[in-house]
Structure 1
């Protein structure tokens, strides 16, 4: 297993779910509020794993710049949710041994759910806010949220790798802050804000400020309690296989997509043909529009 990835099967397939009476309220990753937002300045997911914030410039100030490594993890809030994880990542914080099990931690909204088509099958990982490869944190409940495989691997991992590569190659430091974003009292984060800034070269090598979406394509997520369902796409009928509607009184037939086609469904004069050729053989002619 690669460093920085919370393995789906060994970390998700454990002794069960976290019970919750939190209701969903119909909110899902695929529903779009009228204004395109869900209570913050961040728009709903529109097919990209992350979006840039503040022109991709992090909100650190000069007083934050330091060449001394540190890591801090905010206290859980009143609902038991993670807050902010903040570090100045240096080589001295990085792991020197294999990661231990984190299966004993049950982040808010945790559910053990499997779907075919997801790498490892499990929808959720225990997602490190600051990846293990950066600060060697194992089962720290202040650093683990319920996150989709898509958030973990497609969204967050590229930024974690960018930071890790810079630190290893230069022996420098990267200010790194990850903040989960929850909507109201939901137990599963809508995503995470990620900020990074390479200190020694003043952001020349690492500079980002992004929001990464906690979604899984093809799955509808209830962020209230973490339950989910597969999105069923309705099949669109091929016009070439749809029936031809004829009017026995006027001897005119209508094809799918023509103006009066849908209206003919309820006509007392409706005659149904399998093809235009069949209608024409019966003496019908095609409608002009």
Structure 2
């Protein structure tokens, strides 16, 4: 539009010049009224064009309103209460974890004092120094229920410590008198049970149980504890053991092994428990327990635990008993 107005303006001015020359001195303006109209039109066009080129600025007012409602207040209160509950729960969990760690440390200290662990001794690879079952059966109880064997060295061979086959467990067949024999395993976190233990119903040899002043005289003692493999009513893994043999003596070592296995799924412990019978007796004289962590000496023990109960005289031939005099 601006271009058209400009062209029309110059054309009109030219028209005026031509009229002025033609009608000089003869009131030329009387003949120029059409040119005057054209001039006004050109001015009008140019004025309109100037207005159209001006940018239009639109202003928009945005109003943002934040409402704090009663519902928001309730949600905020609920979140604050949940945070307080979570903080309380975390404190309780931390307290429980600290208590468990203190218990484990206490067990380790007790085991170490009794010769159950040796953090400095190297892993033995020679089993020649382990005494025979006959030699162990001939040992006499002199007031100390747990004694160390082979200077507390488990003495597993390099082959016995191999992890090439992964975790495993093996239970010896019952002998001709239906007595349990040795139980062996390469323990790992993968073997540990996920379910609660069920009640036991196996009757091992020498089972003549009765109540005494401290409770039941005998327990159905697992050779390899339930917490390590999940084996429960396995007749090849249960023997008649006194309450003191089962707990605290054997349990102390089992707890130490379990604590180490729970530390990492990469931890392995070579483990063996052998019931020691004398001649044709049906009640074991004791058990030999050997344990060795693979690749470290975090767990390392070789002990013999006498199958005795303070205040009781046991008949190892058949498992009957009487109060000591």
TM-score by length of 1: 0.64
Give 1:129's match in structure 2, choosing from 215, 223, 234: 223
> Which segment is superposed worse, 167-176 or 217-226?
167-176
- Please give the alpha-carbon distance, in whole angstroms, between the structure 2 residues aligned to 1:73 and 1:39: 20
Query: Does residue 217 of the first structure (1) align with residue 306 of the second (2)?
Result: no
Q: Structure 1, residues 150-205: CA drift from partner, whole Å, max 9, x if none?
A: 0000210111011000000133010000000000000000000000000032xx10
* Corresponding residue pairs, total: 189
Q: Which runs of 5+ in 1 are unaligned?
A: 1-37, 233-289
Give 2:200's match in structure 1, choosing from 80, 88, 102: 102
- Please give the alpha-carbon distance, in whole angstroms, between the structure 2 residues aligned to 1:197 and 1:170: 16
Q: Structure 1, residues 34-72: CA drift from partner, whole Å, max 9, x if none?
A: xxxx96245211111211000101131001113310000
Greater fraction strand: 1
Give 2:143's match in structure 1, choosing from 43, 47, 51: 47
The aligned residue for residue 67 of structure 2 is: none
After superposition, residues 86-165 of structure 1 pair within 5 angstroms as: 86-103=184-201, 105-116=202-213, 118=214, 121-165=215-259
After superposition, residues 52-67 of structure 1 pair within 5 angstroms as: 52-67=148-163
The aligned residue for residue 196 of structure 1 is: 291
Q: Secondary structure at the match of 2:135?
A: coil
Runs of 4+ with deviation above 6 angstroms: none
Q: Secondary structure at the match of 2:193?
A: coil
Give 1:78's match in structure 2, choosing from 162, 172, 176: 176
Q: Secondary structure at the match of 2:216?
A: coil
The question of whether the paired residues in 2 share the 8 Å contact of 1:49 and 1:154 is answered with no
- Please give the alpha-carbon distance, in whole angstroms, between the structure 2 residues aligned to 1:74 and 1:127: 16
- Please give the alpha-carbon distance, in whole angstroms, between the structure 2 residues aligned to 1:136 and 1:205: 23
Greater fraction helix: 2
The question of whether the paired residues in 1 share the 8 Å contact of 2:217 and 2:243 is answered with yes
After superposition, residues 198-277 of structure 1 pair within 5 angstroms as: 198-201=293-296, 204-232=297-325
Greater relative contact order (Cα 8 A, min sep 6): structure 1 or 2?
1
> Which segment is superposed worse, 43-52 or 75-84?
43-52
The question of whether the paired residues in 2 share the 8 Å contact of 1:114 and 1:122 is answered with yes
Whose Rg is larger? 2
- Please give the alpha-carbon distance, in whole angstroms, between the structure 2 residues aligned to 1:43 and 1:183: 10
The question of whether the paired residues in 1 share the 8 Å contact of 2:180 and 2:239 is answered with yes
Q: Structure 1, residues 237-273: CA drift from partner, whole Å, max 9, x if none?
A: xxxxxxxxxxxxxxxxxxxxxxxxxxxxxxxxxxxxx
The question of whether the paired residues in 1 share the 8 Å contact of 2:189 and 2:264 is answered with no
Q: Structure 1, residues 130-151: CA drift from partner, whole Å, max 9, x if none?
A: 0000000010000000000000
TM-score by length of 2: 0.57
- Please give the alpha-carbon distance, in whole angstroms, between the structure 1 residues aligned to 2:303 and 2:309: 18
Q: Which runs of 5+ in 2 are unaligned?
A: 1-132
